[in-house]
Structures are given as structure tokens and as C-alpha cells.
A = this chain, B = another copy of it.
């Protein structure tokens, strides 16, 4: 599986959360976790788009899918 989410932005995210030091492996792990969630959300969003008779995934599909997947 290709990694779309790169390590550098994950490093920055962990820093922004307040960490003073971030291991390379932790940035890789966060990217992997977010990528899995992202694919899950995108698949749900695609279902919503198809259900609405659209071929294009729209922001509202992602929003409803992320609420469902992430329980928000």
C-alpha cells in the first residue's frame, strides 16, 4: 500500500501537540494510523455519494462519513 501521507507533516503535527522531541518511528506510525482512517472515511464517503446518485465525492460526503467512522 502506497503511503500518501508523508512523515514530515506528521512530525510537525506531533510537535504542535506539544511534544519537545519526536521519534521518526512515531511520525511514521501516526501517518500509518491516519492513512488507515482516511481510507475508511473515504470509502464511507464514496458510499454516500453513490447513494445520492453522484459519481463525484463531495465535502458533505466526507463530513457525514467522518462523523460515522470517528463517532463525532
Contact with B along A22-65 (1 / 0, CB 8 A): 11011011100111011101110110010000011111011100
Number of copies of chain A assembled together = 2
Q: In the complex, which residues of chain B have a beta carbon less than 8 angstroms from the beta carbon of A19?
A: 42, 45-46, 49, 56-57
Q: Are A17 and B43 in contact (CB under 8 A)?
A: yes
The closest CB in chain B to the CB of A4 belongs to B9
Q: Are B62 and A30 in contact (CB under 8 A)?
A: yes
Question: Which of the four size classes fits the interface of chain A?
Answer: 35 or more
Binding site for B on A (CB under 8 A): 2, 4-6, 9-10, 12-14, 16-23, 25-26, 28-30, 33-35, 37-39, 41-43, 45-46, 49, 55-59, 61-63, 66, 70-71
